[in-house]
């Protein structure tokens, strides 16, 4: 495999995802490019509908039909995974890329004990016997902080609280030791009082196991505490991406600036953007050129004509014509 | 769980009392048993004697009480038509109906469940669409018409299968079975298809709908995201989650099968309870009718109980610890 020399684990290049609908094709992701290094935690923020979940779904190869990847490529450790056959992709999912979903109340099968679900997952990916897998499952439950794991392994999901269930989900996502996990708003559905615990747990486990994380969240506080880098998404594109400190302290893209200005203390959420007039366009009404141009205080003529690409802007990369000149 | 089953049984008692009251009312007030048994020419003295012998001169509640006590002992009196104990008639007919209904139910499940799973997994495939189109026929074709068509084709035109009766049966003390002889099995084919087709298509369509629903759920998405294979996802995770509604409907449908068996048994002259009921209705044989009613009520109570037990087995959330 091509990896090794550089530390890049996942590379997404020019990813385009479309939904064919009766009223034409909706382009939901329009040329997404980013990479994640081994062991790195990349935060992804953006308003609702920006395409965060779709990006994660495309990476694990679980876009829901009719959604499909129509352009670009996704490489894991140098190897393309976006065009793998079903059977080969199943060996990537769970084994090399894990996934953590939003609502632990619905992500566990209610009719199977948590032990059954863990053992099944472990044995799908690792050559272990039933009893070895069970031991492994117990130690994972202990590792994610389920008290009395050995006694509770045969309990069913409904016998656990929301926070405990999300711990089980995390154990399920990590039990085959994947190199990376996609965590799509892993705490949004949880009680505020346990959100921090779950984030701390994920952070600790990722560090201990060297797992890279793509962490989708609305919570800038979480990004600041947890992530190495952050990608800001807008209308199916990446507006800006760079080290968390830089993006937060010295945002280059006007959208990011507005975003940060609207979050005076780093503990607010970016569900809505009061500071910037207007709303993110629907997929059917994305304007020509820069998708942000109707709301941008610095919009220029070129912004209404040409789509800006990601370019170096200070210590980050931004998709904005303001930085075109510097680069030429 | 034991406690809950006991409470379920207790809940069944009022149901049985009400049904018992209905069949008692039919028994006592529909027609005049005395004139039926004595004929039109009896003297008033004979009538009074008969009324006394039958207990018809006693107060209403006492009569009801006696009726229920006798019912519990499976004593429903004599058939007006055949002058034989009703219990004996029913016991003779019970095996035929039981074997027919069970065969139809098993057939409906064995075919309906896999087809439902298949069409649920590939909703847009050519095969699925064909099956779904075909199933409309199964839902809409009336039982008697289907039976007549089958007889026409397989009995009259091809001569492969018998068109009526149970064939040779093997008798045990209280049971006669058609399962043990070739002609018995051949005789079972057309009636059980006739009776089971509707339920089969119903089960298939239900399983399909439930599968489609479950396959969209988050836990299936998460199972896929963990790299589980199709077999584990479809059968280990998805099918299991469709079972609670399927059990409910199948339970109800077994009741429906008993109902439809009246038609099927008539079409195929199948010597079961349905045929007995039809003959009894034609002859105003009230004791048989009221006994049949009671028996059906008991069957429904038992089915409900079995359904409840299966719920507990399938869904851990229903195993409430009390
Ligand atoms: N099945 C679909 N058909 C058409 N459009 C879809 C479909 N699924 C998603 N989209 C569109 O894709 C866009 C991105 O959706 P996505 O779920 O990735 O947003 P998100 O950034 O995760 O938002 P949120 O913060 O609300 O989770 C949305 O505009 C949505 O309307
Ligand atoms: S490209 Fe133009 S419109 Fe878009 S953010 Fe930059 S300045 Fe604003
Ligand atoms: Mg989302």
- Which residues of B fall below an 8 Å CB-CB distance to A? 217-219, 221-229, 232, 236-237, 240-241, 314-317
Cα–Cα–Cα angle for A197, A203, A205, rounded to 5 degrees: 100
Q: Which residues on neighbouring strands pair with residue A216, listed in sequence order?
A: A44, A184
Domain check: are B99 and B175 in the same one? yes
Cα distance between residue A84 and residue A76, in whole Å: 12
CB distance from A63 to chain B under 8 Å? Answer: no
- Quote the tokens at residue A270: 């970016």
Around Cβ A95, how many Cβ atoms within 10 Å? 18
Cα distance between residue A49 and residue A140, in whole Å: 34
Quick check: B196 pLDDT over 70? yes
Boundary (domain end) residue, out of B267, B282, B297:
B282
pLDDT of residue B322: 43
Burial of A262 (0-12, 13-18, 19+ CB in 10 A): middle
Q: What is the pTM of this model?
A: 0.85
Atom in ligand 1 nearest the alpha carbon of residue A56: 18
Whether residues B315 and A176 touch (CB distance < 8 A) is answered with no
Selected for mutation to probe chain B from A109, A121, A126, A160 (highest B CB count within 10 Å) is: A109
Give the alpha-carbon dihedral of A53, A59, A64, A65, to 10 degrees. 130
Ligand 1, pocket-test mutation among A12, A15, A28, most atoms within 8 A of CB: A28
Is B198 part of a structural domain of the chain?
A: yes
**CATH placement of domain A5-96+179-265+274-279:** 3.40.50.300
Is B232 part of a structural domain of the chain?
A: yes
Alpha carbon of A173: minimum distance to chain B alpha carbons (Å): 7
ipTM of this complex:
0.90
Domain check: are B110 and B196 in the same one? yes
CB distance from A53 to chain B under 8 Å? Answer: no
Whether residues A98 and B317 touch (CB distance < 8 A) is answered with no
| CA-to-CA dists, residue A97 to A199, A205, A247, B46, B222, angstroms | 19, 15, 27, 92, 12
Q: Which protein residues have their CB within 5 A of the ion that is ligand 3?
A: A 53
pLDDT of A256-307, one tens digit each?
998 887 765 545 555 444 456 678 888 888 889 999 999 998 889 999 999 9
Report, as an integer, the average pLDDT of B167-175: 80
Is B144 part of a structural domain of the chain?
A: yes
Q: Out of A13-27, A97-111, A147-161, B157-171, pick the least confident.
A: B157-171
Quick check: B320 pLDDT over 70? no
Is B155 part of a structural domain of the chain?
A: yes
Is B219 part of a structural domain of the chain?
A: yes
Closest alpha carbon to A233 in A70, A30, A66 = A30
Domain check: are B145 and B215 in the same one? yes
All CATH 3.40.50.300 domain ranges of chain A, comma separated, are 5-96+179-265+274-279
B226: closest chain A residue by CA:
A94
Domain check: are B39 and B101 in the same one? no
Domain check: are B25 and B151 in the same one? no
Report chain A residues whose CB lies below 8 A from the CB of B227.
90-95, 121, 124-125, 176
Report chain B residues whose CB lies below 8 A from the CB of A98.
225-226
Ligand 1: residues with CB < 6 A are A 19, 26, 28, 46, 48-54, 64, 67, 283
- Mean pLDDT, chain A, whole residue set: 89
Domain check: are B33 and B181 in the same one? no
Burial of A38 (0-12, 13-18, 19+ CB in 10 A): middle
Provide the domain count of chain B. 2
Domain check: are B106 and B251 in the same one? yes
Domain check: are B55 and B149 in the same one? no
Quick check: B174 pLDDT over 60? yes
Boundary (domain end) residue, out of B49, B72, B95:
B72
pLDDT of A6-64, one tens digit each?
689 999 999 999 999 888 899 999 999 999 999 999 999 998 899 999 999 999 999 99
β-strand pairing of A97-100 with A180-184: parallel
Domain check: are B159 and B205 in the same one? yes
Is B164 part of a structural domain of the chain?
A: yes
Span from the CA of A293 to the centroid of ligand 2 (angstroms):
6
Percentage of chain A modeled with pLDDT above 70: 92
Boundary (domain end) residue, out of B72, B102, B124:
B72
Domain that residue B106 falls in: 86-282
Q: What is the CATH number of the domain that holds B278?
A: 1.10.3720.10
Report chain A residues whose CB lies below 8 A from the CB of B221.
62, 101, 107
Is B106 part of a structural domain of the chain?
A: yes
Is B227 part of a structural domain of the chain?
A: yes
Domain check: are B65 and B105 in the same one? no
Q: Highest mean pLDDT range out of A228-232, A311-315, B40-44?
A: A228-232
> Which one is predicted more confidently, B146 or A216?
A216
């Amino acid at each position: 495999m091509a990896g090794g020399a550089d530390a890049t684990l996942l590379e997404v290049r020019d990813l385009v995802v479309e939904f064919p609908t009766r009223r034409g094709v909706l382009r939901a992701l329009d040329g997404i490019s980013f990479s994640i290094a081994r062991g790195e935690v990349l935060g992804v923020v953006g308003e609702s509908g920006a395409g965060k979940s779709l990006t994660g779904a495309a990476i694990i190869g679980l876009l829901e039909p009719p959604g499909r990847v129509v352009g670009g490529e996704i490489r894991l450790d140098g190897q393309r995974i976006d065009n793998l056959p079903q059977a080969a992709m199943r060996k990537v999912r769970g084994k090399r890329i894990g996934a953590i979903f939003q609502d632990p109340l619905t992500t566990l099968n209610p009719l199977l004990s948590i032990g059954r679900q863990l053992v099944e997952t472990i044995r799908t990916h690792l050559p272990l016997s039933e009893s070895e897998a069970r031991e492994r499952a117990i130690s994972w439950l202990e590792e994610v902080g389920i008290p009395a794991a050995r006694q509770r392994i045969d309990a069913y999901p409904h016998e656990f609280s929301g926070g405990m269930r999300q711990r089980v989900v995390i154990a399920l996502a990590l039990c085959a030791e994947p190199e990376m996990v996609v965590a799509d708003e892993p705490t949004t559905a949880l009680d505020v009082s346990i959100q921090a615990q779950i984030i701390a747990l994920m952070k600790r486990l990722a560090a201990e196991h060297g797992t890279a994380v793509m962490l989708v969240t609305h919570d800038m506080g979480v990004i600041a505490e947890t992530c190495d880098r952050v990608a800001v998404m807008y209308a199916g594109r990446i507006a800006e991406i760079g080290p968390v400190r830089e993006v937060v302290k010295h945002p280059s893209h006007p959208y990011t600036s507005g975003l940060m200005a609207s979050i005076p203390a780093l503990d607010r959420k970016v569900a809505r953007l009061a500071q910037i007039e207007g709303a993110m366009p629907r997929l059917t009404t994305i304007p020509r050129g820069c998708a942000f141009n109707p709301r941008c205080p610095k919009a220029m003529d070129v912004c209404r004509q040409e789509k800006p690409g990601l370019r170096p802007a200070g210590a980050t990369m931004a998709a904005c014509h303001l930085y075109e000149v510097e680069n030429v | 769980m034991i406690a809950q089953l006991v409470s379920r049984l207790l809940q069944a008692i009022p149901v049985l009392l009400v049904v018992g009251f209905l069949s008692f009312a039919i028994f006592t007030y529909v027609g005049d048993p005395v004139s039926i048994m004595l004929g039109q020419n009896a003297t008033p003295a004979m009538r009074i004697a008969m009324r006394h012998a039958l207990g018809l001169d006693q107060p209403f509640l006492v009569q009801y009480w006696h009726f229920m006590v006798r019912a519990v002992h499976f004593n429903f009196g004599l058939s007006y038509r055949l002058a034989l104990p009703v219990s004996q008639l029913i016991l003779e007919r019970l095996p035929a109906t039981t074997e027919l209904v069970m065969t139809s139910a098993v057939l409906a499940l064995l075919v309906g469940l896999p087809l439902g799973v298949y069409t649920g997994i590939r909703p847009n495939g050519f095969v699925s669409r064909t099956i779904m189109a075909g199933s409309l026929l199964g839902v809409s074709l009336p039982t008697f018409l289907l039976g007549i068509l089958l007889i026409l084709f397989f009995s009259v035109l091809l001569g492969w299968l018998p068109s009526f009766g149970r064939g040779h049966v093997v008798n045990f003390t209280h049971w006669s079975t058609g399962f043990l002889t070739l002609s018995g099995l051949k005789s079972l084919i057309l009636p059980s298809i006739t009776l089971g087709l509707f339920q089969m298509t119903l089960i298939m369509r239900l399983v399909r709908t439930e599968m489609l629903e479950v396959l969209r759920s988050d836990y299936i998405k998460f199972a896929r995201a963990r790299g589980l294979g199709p077999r584990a996802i479809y059968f280990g995770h998805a099918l299991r989650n469709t079972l609670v509604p399927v059990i409910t409907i199948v339970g109800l449908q077994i009741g429906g099968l008993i109902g439809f068996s009246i038609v099927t048994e008539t079409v195929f002259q199948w010597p079961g309870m349905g045929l007995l009921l039809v003959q009894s209705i034609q002859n105003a044989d009230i004791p048989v009718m009221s006994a049949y009613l009671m028996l059906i009520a008991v069957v429904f109570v038992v089915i409900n109980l079995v359904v409840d037990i299966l719920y507990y087995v399938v869904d851990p959330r229903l195993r409430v610890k009390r």
